[in-house]
Amino acid sequence: MVFQVLSSLLLALTAARASSALLPRVDVPAPFNSSLFKDFNVSRGLNYHYYAVPADTGKPTLLFLHGFPSTSYDWRHQVAFFQDKGYGLLVPDMLGYGGTSKPLDPQLYVSSLITKDIIDILDAESIEQVVVIGHDWGSKIASRLANYFPERFLAYAFLVVGYTTPDFFATPFEEKLRLDKLVLGYQRFAYWDFMASEGADQFILDHLDSFWNVTYTNDTTHSITADPLAVLAAFNSTEATPADYITPEERAIQLEAIRQGGIAAPLNWYKIARGTLEMQDDKGIPQENALICSPIFFGAALRDYITGSAPIFLAGALVASNSTATIREYNSDHWLQQALPDQVNGDLLEWIEGLDLDLGGVYQYH
Ligand SMILES: *[C@@H]1O[C@H](CO)[C@@H](O)[C@H](O)[C@H]1NC(C)=O
Ligand SMILES: *[C@@H]1O[C@H](CO)[C@@H](O)[C@H](O)[C@H]1NC(C)=O
Ligand SMILES: *[C@@H]1O[C@H](CO)[C@@H](O)[C@H](O)[C@H]1NC(C)=O
Ligand SMILES: *[C@@H]1O[C@H](CO)[C@@H](O)[C@H](O)[C@H]1NC(C)=O
Ligand SMILES: *[C@@H]1O[C@H](CO)[C@@H](O)[C@H](O)[C@H]1NC(C)=O
Ligand SMILES: *[C@@H]1O[C@H](CO)[C@@H](O)[C@H](O)[C@H]1NC(C)=O
């Protein structure tokens, strides 16, 4: 079985290479249907590779946004669950990953530009409004979609990383570290320093196996018992056991995606946050959109010590008085949607069904 999956993956990779010399991509096995992947040139001339399932009448479309260091494959358990229920799905490889363009200029990664790319995709699909579900850096983009394009979203789900307020990046990096040390006793974001440093991409590729094991470690106390920067810088020699909810086949697919695409482009997500690019960009957020006026779901991962999920981000969740927040806590590490797919899928489904969404006229295209 392992070899079957891997060899079909390799065949798909070879085919993809032949058809597109410029964009390496990892076509993925079930539950993704390879004929439903699309490529679209957004208005700023970058290619987005995404998975698109049309919605059945009366069902909304769900937009899933992954984080670092991943691809749309992070959402395989949600794709399997929701596509069988008639929900529309849009699951892009985010900028820098998978089959999507991988520019090396960090300036191209700021939220005002990436949110516009996402809106270009909605326009190309003739979809007026969607429910967005973000994880990790994908939650930042879900937040900025609420800030820049609230009229296009029915509701927002944030997994692990909560609503990232317009002023979140206004606090300089060093000050963030100082405050975290004071409040939490450790510096959650110290590893951003490593991620944003010169040569981090090559270092990671040179120690990819260890990097992956540390990133998906089964023992998340690593990240608080040691300085996160030290943990990451030492991953060339760290003995970490990866979590068991990712199968060897899945691990092979994730590693291959990183090998194919490299990690230099994805690290730009950290560079803009460690430096001042995101801070500058966020100054353009319309203040009146700082409050989210649509329903939100927050899935907190109680064993993710880096994003410090629940307490920190909930404090920042500015929700208008007419909006509702549904909060669920999980005994999970950072990779919530992969670690506890059944619970997460069930809770998201219950939340979405309970929203009583007004889809009037909007889905005439499907
Ligand atoms: C994949 O999608 C295509 C296009 O919608 C469809 O014809 C085909 O039956 C699907 N394959 C599977 C295995 O569901
Ligand atoms: C994408 O669109 C831009 C113009 O917006 C064009 O210059 C570029 O050639 C297009 N790229 C591809 C791959 O089609
Ligand atoms: C990473 O984990 C895999 C799977 O448990 C293991 O086979 C491999 O030796 C580990 N690599 C390192 C460098 O720890
Ligand atoms: C991690 O995996 C190792 C090896 O299977 C095991 O000995 C250890 O107890 C696990 N740790 C946690 C926190 O689950
Ligand atoms: C691991 O990385 C650290 C930090 O860059 C370096 O000091 C150390 O020599 C490296 N160890 C190995 C075994 O490569
Ligand atoms: C909440 O109020 C805002 C601003 O008045 C409005 O735009 C939005 O539609 C309202 N949302 C709901 C769910 O009633």
For ligand 4, the distance from its centroid to the CA atom of residue 170, given in whole angstroms, is 39
How does pLDDT run across 210-257, given as a tens digit for each residue? 999 999 999 888 777 778 788 888 877 777 899 999 999 999 999 999
Q: What's the whole-number mean pLDDT along residues 262-286?
A: 98
Q: Whose CA is nearest to atom 8 of ligand 3?
A: 209
For ligand 5, the distance from its centroid to the CA atom of residue 203, given in whole angstroms, is 10
Q: Residue 220: how many CB atoms within 10 A of its CB?
A: 18
For ligand 1, the distance from its centroid to the CA atom of residue 34, given in whole angstroms, is 8
Q: All domains of the chain, ordered by start, with CATH?
A: 2-20+27-354 (3.40.50.1820)
Q: What's the whole-number mean pLDDT along residues 178-200?
A: 89
Give the residue with greater pLDDT, 1 vs 345: 345
For ligand 2, the distance from its centroid to the CA atom of residue 42, given in whole angstroms, is 8
Q: Which atom of ligand 2 is nearest to the CA of 47?
A: 13
Give the residue with greater pLDDT, 124 vs 22: 124
319 lines ligand 6 (CB under 6 A): no
Q: What's the whole-number mean pLDDT along residues 309-320?
A: 54
Q: What is the pLDDT of residue 223?
A: 73
Q: What's the whole-number mean pLDDT along residues 49-78?
A: 97
35 lines ligand 1 (CB under 6 A): yes
Q: What is the pLDDT of residue 26?
A: 56
For ligand 1, the distance from its centroid to the CA atom of residue 86, given in whole angstroms, is 14
State the Cα–Cα distance between residues 269 and 110, nearest whole angstrom.
8
Q: Tell me: pLDDT of 332 over 60.
A: yes
Q: For the chain, what percent of residues have pLDDT higher than 70?
A: 86
Q: Whose CA is nearest to atom 14 of ligand 5?
A: 236
Q: Tell me: pLDDT of 289 over 70.
A: yes
Q: Tell me: pLDDT of 7 over 70.
A: no
Distances (CA, A) of 319 to 180, 248, 326, 334: 24, 41, 11, 24
For ligand 4, the distance from its centroid to the CA atom of residue 208, given in whole angstroms, is 20
Q: Which two tokens stand for residue 267?
A: 């690290």
Q: Identify which of 110, 115, 95, 96 has the alpha carbon closest to the alpha carbon of residue 282.
A: 110
Q: What is the pLDDT of residue 313?
A: 55
Name every residue whose Cβ is closer than 8 Å to that of residue 8 and which is 6 or more positions away in sequence.
29
- State pTM to two decimals: 0.89
Q: What is the pLDDT of residue 6?
A: 32
Q: Whose CA is nearest to atom 9 of ligand 2?
A: 45
252 lines ligand 1 (CB under 6 A): no
Q: Which atom of ligand 3 is nearest to the CA of 213?
A: 1
State the Cα–Cα distance between residues 236 and 207, nearest whole angstrom.
6
State the Cα–Cα distance between residues 347 and 340, nearest whole angstrom.
11
